[in-house]
Amino acid sequence: MRDVIKFSLLFLMIILLSACTPRPHEIHFDEEDCDYCMMTISDRRFGAEIVTQKGRVYKFDDLHCLKGFMDEKKVEEKNIHSTWVIDFSVSEKLIQIENSFLFYDKDLQSPMGSNVAAFGVKDSLESYRTIHNLGIEMEWEEFLRSK
């Protein structure tokens, strides 16, 4: 009986600890609003999230809004656990921004005009580039410094 109680307590602790781990949340397109511009998040090829150290998730409809939110220091950088973005080639799939490949193309027509798409795989970006060869690849830090 004592072993069952120990096992149950251990199991409960594991569940509680995993529930507290900061992680991204699914974006509910056409239902949730951007935490920066307050417009409904609707384009499944774009979108982003900031997850804080405490697990609060801020959702955005475009990298333009995420950047504006960060520029205005709505959350201090030290309080950011992770930053996520939708993989342009896999609709609605969130990937960590540090593991993404960003591509700017004026013809992308993102919701708020950043016209930047994120790709989770370099080959996907290259495939897109062969079709739309006017764009440029950029690093996350380069995007943050842009106007």
Break the chain into its structural domains and give their ranges. 2-145
Q: 61 and 47 in contact (C-beta within 8 Å)?
A: yes
Residue type, 70: M
**pTM score of the predicted model:** 0.83
Residue 145 has pLDDT above 90, yes or no: no
Encoded tokens for 119: 């790709």
Average pLDDT, the chain: 89
Residue 52 has pLDDT above 60, yes or no: yes
**Mean pLDDT across the stretch 3-32?**
74
Residue 131 has pLDDT above 90, yes or no: no
Q: What is the 3-state secondary structure (H, E, C) of the chain?
A: CHHHHHHHHHHHHHHHHHHHCCCCCCCCCCCCECCCCCCECCCCCCCEEEEECCCCEEEECCHHHHHHHHHCCCCCHHHEEEEEEEECCCCCCEEEHHHCEEEECCCCCCCCCCCEEEECCHHHHHHHHHHCCCCEEECHHHHHHCC
- At residue 12, the pLDDT reads 56
Residue 6 has pLDDT above 70, yes or no: no
Confidence of residue 65 (pLDDT cuts 50, 70, 90): very high
More confident residue, 21 or 10: 21
- Residue of 108, 40, 5, 10 lying closest to 138 (CA atoms): 108
